[in-house]
């Protein structure tokens, strides 16, 4: 069909009683969403290029006392916007629907939406497009107009000159001179592009809404997906060259008080980033930076692996110590109970207790597990002690643990160790009567016991084999109790 024939057909359709948009023939549906539908259309009153007509449904002023007056005010403000980055509006009105719906007629931009266009562009050009969008938004804000629905599908990149153009002011809002009672609490933008403060208070109208939406859009055209502000995934993961963008985008997504307070300041920071990116591109690749990055990644990986191994080893040693502690405590209970029961009639007032809760340990002891009192002022305990508290000069001349003829330092064992000794009152712990320590192989080594004779003189310590069973531990603790009270003789 020729253009003349098409126009004749359109005029015939327009004269029909069921023409939906007065003065226009809708030629084809271009798209739609939650806030209306967009059609390619032609003005029937004159020979002119095709336009885009958006029918806003449901319209945002449905609850207003005078919706037509309110829409006319908003539309007039939008029509007065003159900026290369904002679509030119040519007319507006109300449809013949029942109820009537507002529509906007605007120039038809031929090209791709911002998201589709960005896929084939280098990152500096994508950011340059966002700078153009922010410049347009800054201009709209200076004219007291908010957009409130900025997203990639509402920005067309014109095919003829690659100019990004905001094409949908269907939710635009004129904020000059309106009170809170004039605010609709329903139409606030598209999911994912709305800041938290607007979600919490839908009546809120602020330029920071558009700033937030621009930050989401900038991230999306670089990463291919919307950001999640609370768990921000850095753009540097998409390309290391974008690391400098992350703090800018995060500031655009920040809570309102920390966000860019206007579109211009956001655009200025993006412009500075782009200029540096262009200069880097002219300078060419920097292999040293790549090398340093690889070295740092390797160092961090090695460090993480070392930390993992250390954590695994710490967990294993903790398990070994806990198993030994359980065995020693059970065996010591048997020894202390047997010791007490055999001597109770000879030592009235003697007793065995296991301290519960915060029990103040004597100097040199970290905690007391079992305490025996003979009723005459002497107390013998099974307690924990760190190796540095007893394995030093002044604690028996440097306490060592003997294992089948070999002497081993306590420092080579897990800490704390277990000691059986007279409980000191105020003085530092001296040489304990008995010491049990566990090594990383789960072997329980012991201090050779001093054996006291009838004359009150101690004999030279003899070597003891490692403890291997509940009975071995019980017997060792029993002998250490006897040594502590000098009752052992020649055991």
Query: Is 197:204 a contact under the CB 8 Å cutoff?
Result: yes
Residue 472 has what pLDDT?
Answer: 94
- What does the alpha-carbon distance between residue 116 and residue 134 come to, in Å, rounded to a whole number? 19
Q: 31-39: list long-range contacts, CB under 8 Å, 24+ apart.
A: 31/153, 33/153, 33/190, 34/190, 35/149, 35/170, 35/171, 35/187, 36/170, 38/168
Cβ neighbours of residue 265 under 8 Å, at least 6 residues apart?
none
Cβ neighbours of residue 247 under 8 Å, at least 6 residues apart?
none
The string of DSSP letters for 43-89 reads: ETTS----EEEEE-SS-TTTTSSSHHHHHHHHHHHHHT---TTBPPE
Task: Read off the tokens for 200.
Answer: 């919490």
> Which letter does DSSP use for residue 309 in this model?
H
The domain ranges of the chain are 3-283, 323-484
Could you say which of 1.10.510.10, 3.60.15.10, 3.40.190.10, 1.10.3720.10 is the CATH number of the domain covering 3-283?
1.10.510.10
Task: Read off the tokens for 364.
Answer: 């040199």
Task: Read off the tokens for 320.
Answer: 């070994």
How far CA 300 is from CA of 279, 295, 374, in Å, comes to: 30, 9, 59
Residue 188 has what pLDDT?
Answer: 61
- What does the alpha-carbon distance between residue 351 and residue 333 come to, in Å, rounded to a whole number? 13
Q: 23-30: list long-range contacts, CB under 8 Å, 24+ apart.
A: 23/91, 23/93, 24/51, 24/53, 24/105, 26/53
Tens of each residue's pLDDT in the chain, 491 residues: 455 544 445 444 444 333 789 999 999 998 876 567 889 999 888 777 899 998 887 655 555 555 666 667 667 777 888 999 999 988 888 899 888 888 888 899 999 999 999 999 999 999 999 999 999 999 999 998 888 889 999 999 999 999 999 987 755 665 444 444 444 444 467 889 999 998 888 778 889 999 999 999 999 999 999 999 889 999 999 998 899 999 999 999 999 999 999 999 999 999 999 999 999 888 888 888 889 989 999 999 999 999 999 999 999 999 999 999 999 999 999 999 999 999 999 999 999 999 875 566 667 788 899 999 999 989 999 999 886 556 554 444 345 555 555 666 777 788 899 999 888 765 556 678 888 999 999 999 888 776 655 655 555 455 567 888 999 999 999 999 998 888 875 54
Q: Which residues pair with 383 in a beta bridge?
A: 368, 419
Query: Is 56:35 a contact under the CB 8 Å cutoff?
Result: yes
pTM above 0.85, yes or no: no
Task: Please report where in the chains the tokens 């340059």 appear, as a residue.
Answer: 128
Residue 15 has what pLDDT?
Answer: 45
């Amino acid at each position: 069909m020729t253009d003349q024939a098409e126009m004749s057909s359109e005029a015939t359709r327009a004269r029909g009683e069921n023409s939906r948009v007065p003065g226009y023939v809708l030629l084809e549906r271009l798209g739609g969403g939650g806030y209306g539908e967009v059609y390619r259309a032609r003005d029937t009153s004159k020979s002119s290029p095709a336009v885009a007509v958006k029918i806003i449904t449901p319209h945002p002023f449905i609850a207003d006392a005078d919706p037509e007056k309110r829409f006319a005010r908003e539309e007039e403000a939008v029509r007065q916007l003159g900026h290369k980055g904002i679509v030119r509006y040519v007319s507006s009105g109300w449809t013949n629907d029942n109820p009537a719906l507002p529509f906007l007629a605007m120039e038809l931009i031929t090209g791709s939406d911002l998201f589709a266009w960005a896929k084939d562009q280098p990152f500096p050009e994508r950011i340059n497009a966002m700078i153009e969008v922010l410049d347009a938004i800054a201009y709209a804000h200076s004219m007291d107009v908010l957009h409130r629905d900025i997203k990639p599908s509402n920005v067309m990149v014109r095919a003829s000159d690659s100019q990004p153009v905001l094409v949908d002011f269907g939710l635009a809002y004129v904020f000059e001179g309106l009170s809170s009672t004039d605010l609709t609490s329903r139409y606030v933008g598209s999911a994912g592009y709305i800041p938290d403060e607007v979600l919490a208070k839908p009546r809120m109208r602020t330029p920071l809404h558009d700033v937030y939406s621009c930050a989401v859009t900038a991230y999306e055209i670089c990463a291919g997906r919307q950001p999640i502000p609370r768990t921000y995934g850095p753009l540097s993961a998409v390309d290391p060259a974008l690391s400098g963008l992350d703090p800018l985008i995060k500031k655009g997504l920040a809570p309102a008080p920390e966000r860019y307070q206007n579109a211009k300041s956001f655009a200025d920071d993006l412009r500075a980033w782009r200029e540096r990116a262009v200069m880097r591109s002219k300078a060419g690749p920097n292999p040293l930076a790549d090398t340093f990055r690889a070295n740092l990644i390797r160092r961090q990986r090695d460090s993480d692996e070392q930390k993992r191994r250390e954590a695994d080893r710490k967990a294993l040693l903790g398990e070994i110590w806990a198993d030994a502690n359980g065995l020693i405590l059970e065996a010591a209970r048997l020894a202390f109970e047997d010791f007490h029961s055999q001597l109770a009639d000879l030592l009235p007032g003697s007793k065995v207790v296991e301290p519960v809760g915060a029990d103040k340990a004597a100097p040199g002891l970290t905690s007391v597990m079992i305490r025996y009192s003979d009723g005459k002022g002497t107390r013998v305990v099974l307690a924990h002690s760190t190796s540095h508290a007893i394995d030093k000069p002044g604690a028996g001349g440097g306490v060592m643990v003997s294992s089948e003829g070999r002497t081993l330092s306590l420092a080579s064992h897990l800490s704390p160790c277990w000691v059986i000794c007279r409980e000191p009152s105020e003085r530092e712990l001296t040489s304990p009567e008995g010491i049990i320590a566990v090594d990383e192989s789960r072997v329980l080594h012991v201090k050779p016991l001093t054996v006291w004779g009838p004359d009150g003189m101690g004999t030279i310590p003899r070597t003891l084999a490692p403890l291997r069973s509940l009975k071995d531990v019980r017997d060792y603790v029993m002998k250490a109790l006897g040594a502590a009270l000098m009752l052992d003789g020649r055991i």
